[in-house]
Amino acid sequence: MTGATGVTGATDGPGAGNGLLEGQVALITGASGGLGRGIALRFAAAGAAVAVHFRTNAEAAGEVVTRIADSGGRAVALRADLTVESECHRLVREAADWGGGVLTALVNNAGVQPVQELPGMTVADWRAVADTNVSSVFACTQAAAEWKGGPGGGVRSITHIASIEATHPAPHHAHYSAAKAAVVMHARSAALEYGPYGIRVNTVSPGLIDREGLAQAWPEGVRRWQQAVPTGRLGRPEDVGDACVFLASPMASWITGHDLVVDGGISARPTW
Ligand SMILES: NC(=O)c1ccc[n+]([C@@H]2O[C@H](COP(=O)([O-])OP(=O)(O)OC[C@H]3O[C@@H](n4cnc5c(N)ncnc54)[C@H](OP(=O)(O)O)[C@@H]3O)[C@@H](O)[C@H]2O)c1
């Protein structure tokens, strides 16, 4: 099956229809974008009802909802600007209300990836990335973890989408790399503090994920990646989605505070 991103296997293929998330209600932030769409479709394929969050792209979110409904699943599109703390809390409440008082999983995926050199970067530029990529993760996590579900309805797993750039910075991405490193450390801290309440918090760190037009927009980057990565290809949104499904599932019930790298093996390469 080919999705709007041109990437295959979003609702079929390995891992689909596995029932791993049967009975769960999941909120996926940034599900109008490339990765979020793949994560939402994989959660639905694993049996979860999915709240598909977007900020501006209602059309893309609606397409994800339709695709899930057409496959026999349950989904709703919910709007929020996650740089606003009250919107993070409202979004979590709306998702839980839609789930009938049940919200069991949150994936903090929404984020921006601007490219900018350090010389000339302003504090406002820095803050814009930190607000979207880190403060929103803090606020959504707090809202979800401290939301009181009905019996059996509370949040059990929270997964942040970080990046391999949290540990291997790329040029002109200082604000982004620093934000992703903060997200990894937030998850480890949250794992410590929310663990006693039965809530697991992890990160998934993707490598370069394919999207429509990427090879045309950045041919030299894609070529370098394909030459360097041991598995010989770019990542697909569903590669990340499957990792998130696993972390939200009972199979990961003793995994928390972990960073799961999903990068086709590129981080295993010697750097010298
Ligand atoms: N693509 C990669 O190769 C890659 C690799 C590693 C990590 N990641 C991470 O994966 C995540 C998704 O990346 P992507 O490539 O899928 O990006 P994308 O296609 O640009 O999607 C970004 C998503 O974030 C939402 N968003 C942006 N600012 C927001 C805000 N202020 N409030 C609420 N939502 C906001 C967007 O919503 P609207 O469009 O509806 O406004 C969209 O749904 C990001 O955290 C990114 O850092 C990506």
Q: What are the chain's domains?
A: 25-261 (3.40.50.720)
Any ligand 1 atom below 6 A from CB of 241: no
Question: Quick one: pLDDT at residue 62?
Answer: 98
Residue of 176, 194, 225, 246 marked active site: 176
pLDDT at 4 > cutoff 80? no
pLDDT of residue 3: 34
The partner residues of 262 in beta bridges, in order of sequence, read 206
- For ligand 1, is residue 206 a contact (CB within 6 Å)? yes
Give, using CA atoms, the residue closest to atom 1 of ligand 1: 209
56: Cβ below 6 Å to ligand 1? yes
Would you state the pLDDT for residue 2? 34
pLDDT (mean) for 100-121: 97
The average pLDDT across 10-17 equals 58
Burial class (CB in 10 A: 0-12, 13-18, 19+), 230: exposed
- For ligand 1, is residue 82 a contact (CB within 6 Å)? yes
Q: Whose CA is nearest to atom 13 of ligand 1?
A: 35
Asked whether 167 and 124 are in contact (CB, 8 A), the reply is no
For the chain, the residue count is 272
pLDDT at residue 13 in the model: 55
pLDDT score of 272 = 83
Give the pLDDT band (50/70/90) at residue 149: confident
What angle separates helix 136-146 from helix 174-194, to the nearest 10 degrees? 20
Q: What is the pLDDT of residue 193?
A: 96
What is the Å distance from ligand 1's center to 29 Cα? 9
pLDDT at 16: 61
Q: Could you read off the pLDDT of 242-272 as tens digits, one per residue?
A: 999 999 999 999 999 999 999 999 999 998 8
Query: Is 32 close to ligand 1, i.e. is its CB under 6 Å away?
Result: yes
- From atom 20 of ligand 1, which residue's Cα is the shortest distance away? 33
pLDDT at 234: 98
Top-confidence residue, 262 or 12: 262
Mean pLDDT of 82-106: 97
User: For residue range 171-211, what is the model confidence (pLDDT) as tens digits?
Assistant: 999 999 999 999 999 999 999 999 999 999 999 999 999 99
Mark whether 194 is an active-site residue. Answer: no
Confidence of residue 5 (pLDDT cuts 50, 70, 90): very low
Residue 148: what pLDDT?
85
Give residue 231's identity as a one-letter amino acid code.
T
The distance from CA 251 to its chain's CA centroid, rounded to whole angstroms, is: 19
Q: How far is the centre of ligand 1, averaged over its atoms, from the C-alpha of 24 (Å)?
A: 23
The kind and range of the H/E element at 52 are strand 49-54
Decide whether any atom of ligand 1 lies within 6 Å of the 63 Cβ: no
% of the chain residues with pLDDT over 90: 90
Q: How confident is the model at residue 10 (pLDDT cuts 50, 70, 90)?
A: low
Q: Model confidence at 6, in pLDDT bands (50, 70, 90)? A: very low
Instruction: Quote the ligand 1 centre to 181 CA distance (angstroms).
Output: 16
For the segment 73-81, the average pLDDT, to the nearest whole number, is 99
Mean of pLDDT values over 214-241: 97
